[in-house]
Amino acid sequence: MRYFMIFMRKTVRKFEGLDHMSKVVFLSLSSGIIIVGGFVSWSYVEDYNLKKQEIASQETTQSKMSQTNLELPISSNSIVKEPKTGELSVDNSEGVLVDGIAQMAVGNSGVSRGSQLGNSENIESSQPAGPTENPGAEMPPGITSNTNTNTNANTNTNANEPNITANSNSNGVVGPEEKNSSKSGKKDNSNSNNSNTNSNISPSGVDLEKTFSFGIIGDTQQFDPKNSEGGLQKAVKNLNAANVDGVVAMGDLISGCDGTDKCATKYSDWKTAISPILSKTKEVVGNHDRVGKEQADQKWKDAFELPTNGPEGYSESVYSYDIKNSHFVVLNSESPVEHVINQAQRDWLDKDLAASAKDNIFVFYHEPAWPVSSKIGESLDASSADRDALWAILKKYNVRAVFSGHEHIMSRKKADGIYQFVMGNTDSFDHAKPKSGKVDYSYIGESYAIVKVEGKKITFNLYSIDGNLLDSFSFGK
């Protein structure tokens, strides 16, 4: 200021010594200088204010970022929008968010991070959940985890942080180590317990839609409804424990049905004895079940609820049904006369089998086509022409196996290309041993069977009523 005043005094003295024209010129120049100087000063002030606002804005932004970068817990199975990158990542573990990067403390869960918000590509990881190879390392962008498990847990964790959202929906399979090394834009389709593979294939490679088991109960006409340790009761207990998919009772359920009201009581006692498996059991008519002929037929229909898709006159005694990849057919060897499966049944059978596209066909009737012991001449062999006509139909449609009762033994033989299994004694009395050379295998004593079907492979397992495996025989592929 002092120097400015000295400068002004000197300028005024010089101005007073000038002539009129010089004063005019001097004043014009001075006015221009003042105007230019004022403009420059104004521009400088405006620029200064703008810079000051920009600095203040940067300081505010840094302050907010420092608050955001505090360590915050990341909940299990959360979707995290990272402050610095704006990326969305799915986190299946426990960890913290530090400086915009999820630092993972992985226990038994997989980690998948980094699909760009608004431009994400899902990478499916079907490996069982487990620890990652490098916990704490940032995953490449574009990788997400779509592991499906079975807990259906929905977690919504906010933690008072707008950029952290938990949206858990998992299927709960905890398994060995999960390695998520897929790069952005590539899909990991490896297999696991819950992958997008065919869930019908078992670990051993068997199609579960073609795998099941069914039980066989032989003649039970001597069962005692009051004896909880009887042959029938023990077989039922073991079949129930085995959780078979179906059961077939091969006839002669009771000591005899003469068509009177006594039949209802006997059938009621029998159903009570097999009550644990009654809902999955199909019954075959035996000769003891039809002592009273047509009157006994009515008592049979009153006692059971069986399919009615058989030929006319054979409601609930001739029928068919399916279990998975197999077709089951029940015939009546006692009506209208014993020892014959007549023309009406055979005509229906031909049409029924022609309509089936199942892998396996199993046929059931009480009296065997090829008896091997005490019932020779008292079974379907009594009318060999009718038996042979029946067998021709069975061969025509590649029937896998035929099951019968009647003879109070267990026997297995292959007759003209078809296996015949006789299951004649679960709770009855023993018949004589088979004739020499008549069978491939036989057993004398109370027993039951479980048949396991694996595609076209059939395994017949014979058990004593105490549950001891007596024989196992497999055929087919």
- pLDDT for 235-261, tens place per residue? 999 999 999 999 999 999 999 999 999
Spatial distance between the Cα atoms of 404 and 80, rounded to a whole number of angstroms: 67
pLDDT-based confidence at residue 109 (cuts at 50, 70, 90):
very low
Give the lowest-confidence range in 181-190, 198-207, 291-300: 181-190
The pLDDT value given to residue 41: 60
- pLDDT for 28-76, tens place per residue? 666 666 676 666 565 665 666 666 677 766 666 565 554 544 444 444 4
Of the chain, the percentage scoring pLDDT greater than 70 comes to 58
The pLDDT value given to residue 57: 66
The pLDDT value given to residue 38: 63
* Three-class DSSP category at 464: strand
Q: Is the pLDDT of residue 20 over 70?
A: no
Mean pLDDT of 1-7: 58
The pLDDT value given to residue 435: 80
* Superfamily the domain 208-475 falls into: Metallo-dependent phosphatases (3.60.21.10)
Mean pLDDT of 105-115: 35
The pLDDT value given to residue 52: 67
> Residue 444: is it exposed, middle or buried by C-beta count within 10 angstroms (0-12/13-18/19+)?
middle
The pLDDT value given to residue 201: 81
Question: In the block, which residue shows the tokens 């898709």?
Answer: 309
- pLDDT for 452-462, tens place per residue? 999 999 999 99
Indicate the average pLDDT of the chain: 76
Mean pLDDT of 88-105: 39
Give the distance from CA 70 to its chain's centroid.
Answer: 44
- pLDDT for 425-447, tens place per residue? 999 999 999 988 899 999 999 99
Q: Is the pLDDT of residue 198 over 60?
A: no
DSSP 275: G
Q: Is the pLDDT of residue 164 over 70?
A: no
- pLDDT for 309-355, tens place per residue? 999 999 999 999 999 999 999 999 999 999 999 999 999 999 999 99
The pLDDT value given to residue 175: 34
Q: Is the pLDDT of residue 205 over 90?
A: no
148 versus 227: the higher-pLDDT residue is 227
Q: Which run of H or of E encompasses 301?
A: helix 293-303
pLDDT-based confidence at residue 475 (cuts at 50, 70, 90):
very high
| Domain edges within the chain | 67-196, 208-475
Provide the token pair at 207.
Answer: 């199609």
* Three-class DSSP category at 150: strand
Give the lowest-confidence range in 42-51, 186-195, 206-215, 295-304: 186-195
The pLDDT value given to residue 282: 98
The pLDDT value given to residue 8: 58
Angle of CA points 155, 161, 162, to nearest 5°: 90
Helices (H) and strands (E) in the chain, counts: 7, 20
The pLDDT value given to residue 458: 98
Question: In the block, which residue shows the tokens 């089998």?
Answer: 353
- Under 8 Å between Cβ of 363 and 403: yes
* Three-class DSSP category at 35: helix
Of the chain, the percentage scoring pLDDT greater than 90 comes to 56
- Under 8 Å between Cβ of 265 and 300: no
Spatial distance between the Cα atoms of 446 and 254, rounded to a whole number of angstroms: 16
Q: Which run of H or of E encompasses 271?
A: helix 262-273
The pLDDT value given to residue 251: 98
